[in-house]
Chain A
Amino acid sequence: MTRAVPVHPLELISAQIDGEISPGETKFLGAHLRTCASCQQRQAELRRIAAGLDGMPVAAPPAGAIERLLERVRHDCRPPLPLPLPPPAAPAPPVVAEPPAEQTAPGRSRAILTVPLALAAALAVVLLVFRMNTPVDTPADPAAPQPSPTVTEDRSPAAVPIVSPPISLAASVAPAEAIDPPAAPSPRIAPPVAPLAAPARPDEVPRPAAPAAPDDTLPPAALPAPPEVVEAELREPHADPVVLPTIEFRGNSKQLSRQARQLVATVAEFLRQHEDVKLVIRGHAEAKSTDKSLALGQSRALAVARHLEDLGIDPSRLVPTPAGSEDDRVDFALER
């Protein structure tokens, strides 16, 4: 590791402990230590602390933790995000509701670039698209048949985002009751959608991970509750639908464009107005491998999260996560 900026000798000592010090730095440090009693003392101290940290015990996972996770994965891992597995013929836009002619999946990137910023910002601020597909029919048995007979991937509605179509006029005027799960390959396939009145009491909305007992023992403020709980609570009769914008990225970039920053600012404004929700920031990235896609998706989500932090949003309300490999964008979902 080389750099032009001079480094504090103590930092070199720390790097030396890790074996991450260049020959030049070793020489410099050696020369310095010969003349500096204080640094010699600190060297001994840092080494002692490093060794102590190294031997510090780590708590073992609670008994059965892996099994609980696997159980949850078995029930829950059907892709809950709107990862499009578009049928070859007709790729579905993220929100399907009699899409206007100009709204096609390949045009999403272009759409966001062509909508005037002011309009985009205005549309971005408000609009909560209700999700009606409460997972009342989540199968208890992993071997049980999936609700969607012909869909290759069952879209568990558990974590389908409340919002996040690309920002466009078309998406924002879509009537809520016409929204299908974004990934449903074709409108002819009935998605597992429950009617609006199905969850009679919001607090009784079924959770997708019934077997994962610890869920129920944890404080809701600290842990992301299943999104549908929030949906249920936000689903007040008078609530205006809200659309959070989609942040588009170019190529392999994780940089926020000026336009993207403005869109993120609208999200910050939304969060300031709704202090009880958390924002799941989902970074998508097209890449050759899942790994690269995850890494870039995570970086993009982090870039957006950091900008939101810069805008004064409490980082504890932000949950950046990689989300999928089908597009170059960051979109959002809300959680309690």
Chain B
Amino acid sequence: MHSREPGCGLNPDNVDPRNTSPADNHGSPIGPARDDRQGALEELVRANYDHVWRIVWRIVRDETHAEQVVQEVFLAAARALAGATPEAPSTPSLRQIATSRALSFASARRGPRRENRPEAPDAVLLQSSFETLERPLRAPISLKLEGLPYAEIARALDLPPETVRARLFRARDAICRYVRRKKSLV
């Protein structure tokens, strides 16, 4: 199963339905004093790193590159935190930046790696099927795997919930077809 750790508790009561997501700070921003931004930022990083990591990694599919993208995400958040409004961005906002950056990065890689492993077991097939997904389909499934409801995914991707639903279906359908095709080659 996933190597997940809960967020470090900015708002421990508020967790997602699968109890795997870090704190959502919707109504209760961290609200650090201006002179304590550094501490707030570090807390933000520690609380959300794993969540952001998983979203980004699923889209980027490469540890070194994912680390770089995650750094950019938090540095963007840091800039926001250093702006005029002295409060930390919440997890939903981080998701928004994370998916946007990761997608931008993934598209720069000029197409997914396609692996030809017809004999691979289901788990490996699923992994490689993910890499064949079109860019617009990768982000919603990545967020869905974080246990987010459609409304949250829609918010992170700036899409209508109906589109999220349709894309999730298209993603799963594409993966089904991929697995079926590969299995038929065995």
A78 to B83, CA, bound (A): 10
Which residues on A sit within 8 Å (CB–CB) of B115?
none
Interface residues on A, range: 35 or more
Contact code string A40-78 (vs B, CB < 8 Å = 1, else 0): 001001100110111111111110011011101110111
Q: Are B84 and A49 in contact (CB under 8 A)?
A: no
Find chain A residues with CB under 8 A from B74 CB: 69, 73
Residues of A within 8 Å of B92, CB to CB, are 291, 295
Contact call B83/A18, Cβ cutoff below 8 A: no
B23 on interface, CB distance cutoff 8 Å: no
Given the complex of chains A and B, what is the CA–CA distance between A216 and B185 in angstroms? 41
Chain B CB within 8 A of A81 CB = yes
Question: Once the chains bind, are A20 and B149 in contact (CB under 8 Å)?
Answer: yes
Whether A50 and B105, one on each chain, are in contact in the complex, defined by CB atoms closer than 8 angstroms, is no
- Chain B residues positioned under 8 Å from A70 (CB to CB): 42, 45
Structural contact, B169 and A14, CB atoms closer than 8 A: yes
Q: Which residues of A contact B127 (CB under 8 A)?
A: 56
B6 to chain A minimum Cβ distance, whole angstroms, is 15
Select A318's contact among B104, B141, B180, beta carbons within 8 Å.
B104
A325 to B51 alpha-carbon distance, docked (Å): 25
B-chain residues with CB within 8 Å of residue A53 when the two chains form the complex: 126, 130, 141, 145, 172, 175
Q: B84 to A69, Cβ gap below 8 A?
A: no
Q: Which B residues between 33 and 82 are near A, CB-CB below 8 angstroms?
A: 38, 41-42, 45-46, 49-50, 53-54, 57-58, 63-68, 70-72, 74-82
A residues neighboring B (CB under 8 Å): 1, 3, 8, 10-11, 13-15, 17-18, 20, 42, 45-46, 49-50, 52-62, 65-66, 68-70, 72-74, 76-81, 83, 85, 153, 212, 214-215, 217-218, 221-224, 287-291, 293-295, 298-299, 301-302, 314-326
